[in-house]
Amino acid sequence: MCSIHWQHQFSKMHLFLLLLLFIRVSTFELSNSATERDALLKVMESWKVNYTTWVGNDPCSGWEGVRCNNLGRVTYLNLSNTGIVGPVPEEITALQYLEVLDLCNPRYGVKPQLNAVSGDLAPLGSLIHLRDLNVSFNDITLDSFPSAVFNLRNLVSLRIDNLRIAGPLPKELVGLTKLKYMYLANNSLTGPIPPEYGNMKSLQEISLWNNNLESKIPPEFGNLLNLTYLNLHECNLYGGLPQELGNCRNMDSMSLYGNSLTGIIPDSWKNMNKLRILWLHRNQLTKYFPEWLPSLPSLYNVSLDYNLLYGPVANFPNASLKIISFTCNYFSGTAPTAPPPLVLNFTGNCFDPIDNNNKIRCQQQYYDCSAYLKELPNGSCPRCPGLQSLEDPKTCVCTLISPVSETSSSKGKLVGSILGVGAFLLIMVLLWFLYKWYMKSTKPFEDLWYGPEGVIRYHVEDIVTATDNFHSRHEIGAGGFGKVYYAVLDGKEVAIKRANSSSIQSTSGFRNEVVLLSRLHHVNLVRLLGFCEGEGIQILVYEYMSNGNLFTMLFKRKTSLSWLTRLDIAIGVAHGLEYLHTFADPPVIHRDVKPSNVLLDNNLVAKLSDFGISKVAPGFDSEMPTRPCGTAGYIDPQYVLTEQLTSASDVYSFGVVLLELVTGHKSIDNARIDGQNLVEWVAVKLSSEGPESVVDKRLGNDYPKQIFHDIIRLGLDCAAFKSGERPSMKAVVTILDACRWSVATDVSVPNDAESSIVNEGGHSHGVVVGDQDMEKTAESLERFSTDAMSVVLPR
């Protein structure tokens, strides 16, 4: 009886304790929920987020962009594309269980809400459970990498690209041992690439493109056996291709183009059996075509354009390969053949018979085939790029010329400095006395200026002879600067622009313009070859563009550009403008982007023309007062209203050109009954009738519908009335490159992808798509980084 009573009392006590525990846990969870709720509301207030669903006491119950775990703790916060502005609020530190934080701009619609997160991200350093951090495409400007990231030891995915972060690539990232996806691209980071990154064995994807790394590719990357994606394009890399990368047998895609890499393509790379995409164009690689390359079982897309490769190329076998391009090299012998549907691009080589015109257009350091092949007897090495010297004569790898050793004693440096200063002063005194003596004993001498290095000073007599004294039959165009003439100088086809009387500048102004133009080097800018000046004469000599301008090609010829060529032209113009805005020194605003200033070379590669000293922005994107100028239909309306010039003015003009490419309509057409202004006409038609109503009827139905829909929306965004609502050219390039990549990786695209011009009867002129196929495409829409993934357009 006592035993039963005791058991009964124990059951009561047990239930009581369980009830207390339940109450305590519930209270604890409610308290934590309230803390996180308050933190989220304060974050919303600080960042001016306007979520109508963020009401009530429980953020885990239907709050947009918020997810929780089973314990009611916030683990996921997605504020991408919400228009948040300002530094990261301190209140976010209360979200201690946060695992995913997305603050980027992954969608790009007609009315984007662009995020502008700023500051050093310091509050994020306490969120030690973060596994996925994405702050891409924000307004973060820093002199060094945000140190808060180093505390996040559980990170698996780090996307901190397309920002303005400077300073060296941090070695401290090695402490993030769980990191699989590292995206630091399109910043202002400097190198070298830390070899310690080779110890981050979990890494699967690395994206560092468009940073000024001035580095070799660390051979330690060969230790990253899980690596599938490596993107280091346009990073100012030098040295050779590490043979150790052949250990990365899981490699799927490798993009190393636009650097100064030298040497051979290592035979060890044939071990990368899963490799699908290999882009090595625009380097200075040499030696022979790798015989094993076409036989890689998964290989899909290869670009070796604009290198120094030579020797024979065998015919291509039936394989997985769909696109291979090696234009502008020095391959010789019989041109190779390829089975369909393989697209093969090989213009600008030394195949029999040698096409000197195409070779000249490549504009490489060696003038033609004979000059290059004579300099390489018995397989010796070509000249190293500037500021590099030969490191390995067997592989022809070059390296940077070593700076003066820093191990010299301070005493030696001091003595050297004193002697150097003394010698300099002595020389200056002697020069002064010589100058005074010369000026007294001679007549004033002629001011002969030879111009900057790499630009030819032509004699007036040579130009007069080449143009038959500027005869009208040599005229190929005219503009505000003056008339343009076709001529052949030193065996090269050139375009000669002669200033008319109203365009003649002061001597110093003209010379400053020549110096500026000589510094602008990009595949999508018309290149300045030389100049001529004399009494009442100012002449600029440019490369000749055999296919004229886009206006004539688009609106005056019976032939119609294919959809793929239109896309490539848009990408080319975008890249040219991005270079002027971002990479030119000093930056340049074009001010007159229009189809007649887009020239097309023999391969229909688009190049911008008609930019110069008058467009230099002294404090770029700080507004520059100037007189309104440009061409009706392309002028930024904000520019007309305020007379303030920014890079957004070029973006507006580009948007109009992009819409012209898609629609085949002119920017202003008084005969267009339902809308004379193209931007307004497209906006109305797109809204009421869909994209098919505005796409050029000459294309029929043979174009990718979704991609063109996205491009139309991008054109409207670029041509937004308010300049603050327009994307930067950097964002435009990323979006268009992503669209182009989706074409390159989609075997179901329309069949006209292999022809550039189709006449009205639908018959191909047989012009093979040029090297832009490989050069202009960026990353895959499905997974290739914030480089593209963050700007996938909504379907």
Are 463 and 489 contacting, i.e. CB atoms less than 8 angstroms apart? yes
Q: Report the candidate in 137, 138, 176, 185 with the shortest Cα–Cα distance to residue 157.
A: 176
Strands 188-190 and 164-168: parallel
Structural domain that includes position 87: 27-237
CA atoms within 13 A on the CB side of 759: 6
Domain finish residue from 543, 575, 604: 543
Same domain, 679 and 574: yes
Q: Give the model's pLDDT for residue 300.
A: 87
Q: Give the model's pLDDT for residue 405.
A: 38
Q: What is the mean pLDDT of residues 293-321?
A: 90
The H-assigned helical ranges of 506-645 are 507-519, 550-555, 563-578, 637-642
Decide which of 115 and 223 is more confident.
223
The tokens describing 624, both together, are 């520059």
Q: What is the mean pLDDT of residues 190-210?
A: 95
What CATH number corresponds to the domain at position 772? Answer: 1.10.510.10
Q: What is the mean pLDDT of residues 610-637?
A: 57
**pLDDT, tens only, 663-712:** 999 999 888 877 889 999 999 999 899 899 999 999 998 889 989 999 99
Q: What is the mean pLDDT of residues 11-37?
A: 55
Same domain, 87 and 217: yes
**pLDDT, tens only, 361-384:** 676 777 678 778 777 756 688 888
Please count the residues of the chain. Answer: 795
Residue 612 pLDDT grade (very low, low, confident, very high; cuts 50, 70, 90): low
Q: Report the candidate in 586, 722, 726, 602 with the shortest Cα–Cα distance to residue 654.
A: 726
Helix, strand and coil percent figures for the chain, each rounded to 5: 35, 20, 45
Q: What is the mean pLDDT of residues 346-361?
A: 80
DSSP 129-164: T--EEE--SS--EESS--GGGGG-TT-SEEE--SSE
Q: Is residue 10 part of a domain?
A: no
Single-letter amino acid code for the residue at 747: V
Are 708 and 563 contacting, i.e. CB atoms less than 8 angstroms apart? yes
Alpha-carbon gap, residue 181 to 789, rounded angstroms: 13
Decide which of 368 and 133 is more confident.
133
Q: What is the mean pLDDT of residues 621-628?
A: 38
Q: Which of 252-256, 426-430, 484-488 has the lowest mean pLDDT?
A: 426-430
Max mean pLDDT among 82-86, 339-343, 371-375, 537-541 falls in 537-541
Are 266 and 391 contacting, i.e. CB atoms less than 8 angstroms apart? no
Alpha-carbon gap, residue 786 to 105, rounded angstroms: 9
Alpha-carbon gap, residue 693 to 135, rounded angstroms: 37
Same domain, 355 and 502: no
Alpha-carbon gap, residue 276 to 257, rounded angstroms: 16
3-class DSSP state for residue 180? Answer: coil
Q: Give the model's pLDDT for residue 378.
A: 63
Are 173 and 195 contacting, i.e. CB atoms less than 8 angstroms apart? no
Domain tally, the chain: 4
Q: What is the mean pLDDT of residues 43-49?
A: 88
Domain finish residue from 521, 543, 565: 543
Domain finish residue from 484, 508, 543: 543
Cis peptide before 192 (omega within 30 of 0): yes
With 70 as the cut, is the pLDDT of residue 210 above it? yes
Same domain, 394 and 529: no
Alpha-carbon gap, residue 284 to 260, rounded angstroms: 6
3-class DSSP state for residue 318? Answer: coil
Same domain, 355 and 389: yes
Compute CA 143 distance to the chain's CA centroid, rounded to the nearest angstrom: 22
Q: Is residue 68 part of a domain?
A: yes
**pLDDT, tens only, 550-596:** 998 899 887 788 898 999 999 999 999 998 988 887 788 988 899 99
Same domain, 206 and 317: no
Residue 397 pLDDT grade (very low, low, confident, very high; cuts 50, 70, 90): very high
The label of the residue with tokens 């468009």 reads: 210
Q: Around Cβ 178, how many Cβ atoms within 10 Å?
A: 13
Decide which of 450 and 522 is more confident.
522
Single-letter amino acid code for the residue at 20: L
DSSP state of 581: I
Q: Give the model's pLDDT for residue 795.
A: 24
Q: Is residue 632 part of a domain?
A: yes
Same domain, 524 and 671: no
Single-letter amino acid code for the residue at 374: K
Mean pLDDT of the chain: 80
Same domain, 370 and 503: no
With 80 as the cut, is the pLDDT of residue 269 above it? yes
Strands 397-400 and 388-392: antiparallel
Alpha-carbon gap, residue 512 to 214, rounded angstroms: 29
Decide which of 791 and 564 is more confident.
564
Phi/psi at 76 (nearest 5 deg)?
-140, 130
With 90 as the cut, is the pLDDT of residue 492 above it? no
Cis peptide before 353 (omega within 30 of 0): yes
Q: Is residue 56 part of a domain?
A: yes
3-class DSSP state for residue 21? Answer: helix
What sign results for the dihedral spanned by CA atoms 151, 153, 154, 157? positive
Are 597 and 609 contacting, i.e. CB atoms less than 8 angstroms apart? yes
Sequence ranges of the binding site: 497
Sequence ranges of the binding site for ATP: 497
The H-assigned helical ranges of 556-611 are 563-578
Are 530 and 458 contacting, i.e. CB atoms less than 8 angstroms apart? yes
What CATH number corresponds to the domain at position 113? Answer: 3.80.10.10
Same domain, 712 and 617: yes
Decide which of 771 and 25 is more confident.
25
Alpha-carbon gap, residue 291 to 791, rounded angstroms: 38
Alpha-carbon gap, residue 194 to 542, rounded angstroms: 42
Are 543 and 605 contacting, i.e. CB atoms less than 8 angstroms apart? no
With 60 as the cut, is the pLDDT of residue 49 above it? yes
Alpha-carbon gap, residue 146 to 144, rounded angstroms: 6
Q: Give the model's pLDDT for residue 275.
A: 95
Q: Is residue 414 part of a domain?
A: no
Q: Is residue 573 part of a domain?
A: yes
Q: Is residue 315 part of a domain?
A: yes
Q: Give the model's pLDDT for residue 449.
A: 79
Decide which of 706 and 436 is more confident.
706
With 60 as the cut, is the pLDDT of residue 748 above it? no
Decide which of 789 and 733 is more confident.
733
Please, which residues have CB within 8 angstroms of residue 645's CB and are 6 or more apart in sequence? 589, 591, 617, 623, 624, 625, 626, 639
Same domain, 629 and 740: yes
Phi-psi region of 700 (alpha: psi -120 to 50; beta: other; left: phi over 0): left
The label of the residue with tokens 């964002």 reads: 731
Alpha-carbon gap, residue 244 to 219, rounded angstroms: 6
Are 456 and 449 contacting, i.e. CB atoms less than 8 angstroms apart? no
The tokens describing 246, both together, are 């052949």
Q: Is residue 500 part of a domain?
A: yes
Same domain, 555 and 533: no
**How far, CA to CA in Å, does 377 sit from each of 240, 250, 674?**
22, 38, 67
Q: Which of 254-258, 442-446, 770-774 has the lowest mean pLDDT?
A: 770-774
> Which residues participate in catalysis according to the annotation?
592
The tokens describing 304, both together, are 């070796």
Q: Give the model's pLDDT for residue 184.
A: 96
Q: Give the model's pLDDT for residue 379.
A: 67
Single-letter amino acid code for the residue at 273: N
Alpha-carbon gap, residue 238 to 671, rounded angstroms: 56
Q: Where are the beta strands (DSSP E) in 408-566?
A: 456-457, 475-478, 482-489, 492-499, 528-534, 537-543, 560-561
Burial per residue of 516-528, b for 16 or more beta-carbon CB atoms within 10 angstroms, e otherwise: bbbebebbbbbbb
Same domain, 219 and 296: no
What CATH number corresponds to the domain at position 529? Answer: 3.30.200.20
Residue 122 pLDDT grade (very low, low, confident, very high; cuts 50, 70, 90): very high
Strands 301-303 and 388-392: unpaired
Q: Which of 299-303, 396-400, 503-507 has the lowest mean pLDDT?
A: 503-507
